[in-house]
Structures are given as C-alpha cells and as structure tokens.
Amino acid sequence: MDRQQSRLAKWGFWIAVAALVVLAVCVIGNRTELIHFGIAVRGLAVAALIGLVAVIVSAAGIVRTLVSNRSGARFAIMGLVLGLVVAAPVVQAIVAGAQVPGIHDITTDLDNPPQFDAVVALRGEGTNPLDRAEPENLAELQRQAYPDIATIEVGAQPGKVFEAALETARAEGWDIVAFNPEAGLIEATATTRVMNFRDDVAIRVVEREGGAAVDIRSVSRVGISDLGANANRIRTFRDALKKNLAAG
C-alpha cells in the first residue's frame, strides 16, 4: 500500500516553484524593459520572501517525512534547494546594501571627478543626475564607506597608461562609448549580467610627477543605492589595470 504523501513537502516544493517564477518574470521583464526597474527590484524582494517561505515549509516537510510514515522527502528536498537558490542571492544583496550608504556615484577624485560627455545622450530621461548634488554630503558618505577608493598613481608614461586603461576597460566587457588619447579620457558603459542594469564609467589619465594619475568614476543610471557595485567595479578595474601595466 502506498504511503500517504506529506502535504508540507508538496506545498514547500510548489511555493519554491512560485518563487522561481516571480524571480524569472522580474529578471526577464527588466532585461527586456517590459517592467520598470523599480517594480522589478521590489519583485526580487518578493521572490526572495516567497523563497524563504518555501525553505521553511520544505524543511518542515522533511522533518514530517522523517518522523512519520509519509512520503514526499524528495519533493521537500527539491523545494528546500530551489527556495535557497532563489532567496540566497537576493538576501545577500540586501544584506550587503544595508552595510553601505544609499549612494550611486563613486569616484576616485572627490574634488575633481572625471566628467561625462558622450555618455550623457545615452542616459535618457528618468536617470540619475550627474551633478553629484544629492545627497549634500555625498563626498563624506563615500569617504567613510570606501576609504580605499583613491586616485591610482603609476610610474609609467601617460600614453602607455591610457592604452592599458582602454584595454582593461574592454577586457572588463564594458561598451566603449568614446575615448580621446590626447585628453586622456575614456567613457564606457558597464552592464550587469543578470538584471541588465547599466552603469556609466569615466576614466581620466593625466601626467603627474614623471608618471601618471588615473581617476575613475562609476555612476548608476537608476536606483538610489548601488549596493556597493560601483565601488567594487572601480576596485576590480584598478587591480586589473595594475596587473596589465606590470605585465606590459
């Protein structure tokens, strides 16, 4: 005689499936621009919440199958894993975002940040302004949160550094919008892999004390907080640039 299946196990699995569906709709909707980014971001939070519920219900289902003669352990395990897959990345992003200030414009030069020109026309209406006017204490917030973000000083000829910076930007997968070797300026757009968010980057290379100084600015097009993404992008570029110059 077949054992009766645990309802908790079954419900845990289908709740996890629902979480996955919500997640997929938000990601695909945002990437295809069918859903406004604000709705998509809130949808991700909802998907994570549903995923957490699935984890709890599935865990209870596993316990139920172990202490009773009911079947459904496989359903419960699949629900648990699927719920974690959906919830974990979103929860991780939320936790990381809670540890950084709600800013989205990060630069290595707080007194004279690199400026955008060609990128401006691509940002469109409804995007974040580039005047760094809000919040009023933006520079101080960045200084406190990211004390390691500073001008990159290298002992190499500026022209060589510019070529290395351009090569590094391309290697990072950024779309190069414009570059001017004479002025030492590069403008690019970086696109996130999952949600397809676009952040704009300006790089400036100038001669300084027999070497070169490189400044970078990374700005999110949408959203109040970047969850630390722009600072991480600058760090990644900085490390890759130094590696390229050392290899060259």
What confidence score (pLDDT) does residue 1 get?
36
pTM: 0.85
CATH dotted code for 105-247:
3.30.530.50
C-beta separation of 38 from 126 below 8 A: no
For residue 135, cis peptide bond before it (omega within 30 degrees of 0): yes
Per-residue tens of pLDDT for the chain, all 248 residues = 345 677 888 999 999 999 999 999 999 999 998 998 889 999 999 999 999 999 999 999 999 888 887 788 898 999 999 999 999 998 988 888 888 999 999 999 999 999 999 999 999 888 999 999 999 999 999 999 999 999 999 999 999 999 999 999 999 999 999 999 999 999 999 998 888 899 999 999 999 988 999 999 999 999 999 999 999 999 999 999 999 999 87
The C-alpha atoms of residue 201 and residue 203 are separated, in whole angstroms, by: 7
C-beta separation of 11 from 5 below 8 A: no
C-beta separation of 220 from 132 below 8 A: no
What confidence score (pLDDT) does residue 3 get?
56
What confidence score (pLDDT) does residue 55 get?
97
